[in-house]
Structure 1
Amino acid sequence: MRFCLFIICLFSFQQTVSAQDQDKKSEIFLELGGNGLLGSINYSRTLFNNPALEFRAGLGAYGSDPKTYLTVPVGLNYIINIGSKHAFLNVGFGGTYTRADVTMGILKKYEEGYKPRASAPVNIIPNFGYRYYTTKDFSWRINFSPVINRHGFLPLFGISGGKRF
């Protein structure tokens, strides 16, 4: 009897661990463009499964020679399953702190009399995108992430790849 109880407990524990492994809530990913502006490394965490709400934060860079600035993107994403257990749409809203005055810098640099501000603005960055999770817990995303700030609207896209855990 004790042996049967031991086997049942062992099997129950294995099922619990197995179920937790399938429910990956965290992800580390590298992003080119997107919320980090030029590039960033990010961490995201699923806060709720139903509805799926995700928090993300990262460190990135923005700028051109001779100056590059640190960026700190943060945001929330609403994840929408599109019929498969691997494919999703995301709609999100966030902000990116940077010391750079985010504009069409390449264009502004050549205009007469343009001087970048040395302030520390926060840029509003909504995002709309597609993400795919592989069976090996790798992920990739493509996003439309426009920057909205005192200069107006800057259309920006991002692509990223990472690992869920």
Structure 2
Amino acid sequence: MKKLFFTVSIFILSIGMANAQTAAKTIYFELGGPGIASFNYDMRLQKKEDGIGFRIGVGGFSIKDDGAIFVPLGLNYLIGKDGKNYFEVGGGVTIVSIHTDLSDDNDIGTFETTFGHAYFGYRLQPKNGGFLFRAGITPIFNRNFFIPYYAGISFGYKF
């Protein structure tokens, strides 16, 4: 009886382990979007391919003595049934640090700001890993501006 119980227990555990999924994780480069030109990490919050997830990134640019660093943070939700093609909707905040030359005396000024962003787009994310593609509309806004038709495109890897 103990042997049968042990065998059945091992069988049930092996089925459970075979069906266990890990949360989908991706890394990608985004041109446009809330990070302007940024490298990002994205992960589902549940052990599945779709559903709710988060992103964090870092990006920026520099032109002569002026530059900016962007840190986009956000939540997103993937909707799809075939395990590969998804509609993505999300939003978040981007932290911005701007460095600028204020005068000819090499006096440098730095200030920080934030802006909100939304995301509505398409995501190609193969179930078993591989090439990731994203494209969508990313409205950005804060108290002083609203840009409704800003966009972004991303290329990366799902693992």
Superposition TM-score tier, normalisation by shorter sequence: 0.7 to 0.9
- What do residues 34-93 of structure 1 show as CA deviations (whole Å, max 9, x unaligned)? 2322122223232597x92222222x1222323443321111112222x42322101111
Task: Name the structure 1 match of 2:155.
Answer: 160
Give the equivalent residue in structure 2 for 1:62: 60
Give 1:98 deviation, angstroms: 1.1
3-state DSSP class of the match of 2:20? helix
> RMSD of the alignment, in Å?
2.7
Shift of 1:158: 2.3
Q: Which amino acid aligns with 1:57?
A: I
**For residues 34 and 47 of structure 2, what CA distance do their matches in structure 1 show?**
22
Counterpart in the other structure of 1:27: 25
Task: Please say which of residues 118-127 and 1-10 is displaced more in the overlay.
Answer: 1-10
Alignment match, 2:103: none
Count of aligned positions: 144
Secondary structure of the corresponding residue to residue 85 of structure 1: coil
* 1:160 counterpart letter in structure 2: F
Residue ranges of structure 1 left out of the alignment (5+ in a row): 102-116
Asked if the contact 2:51/2:77 (under 8 Å) is kept, the reply is yes
| 8 Å Cα contact 1:142-1:160 kept in structure 2 | no
The answer as to whether partners of 1:80 and 1:88 remain within 8 angstroms in 2 is: yes
Taking the aligned partners of 1:132 and 1:86, their CA distance within structure 2 comes to 6
- Aligned-partner SS, 1:122: strand
Q: Specify the alignment match of 1:44 in structure 2.
A: 43
Cα pair distance change 1:142/1:69, threshold 3 Å? same
CA contact (8 A) 2:23 2:47 kept: no
- For the 8 Å contact 2:71–2:95, the answer to whether it is kept is yes
Among 104, 119, 123, which residue is 1:127 paired with?
Answer: 119
**5+ residue gaps in structure 2?**
100-108
Corresponding residue for residue 96 of structure 1 = 94
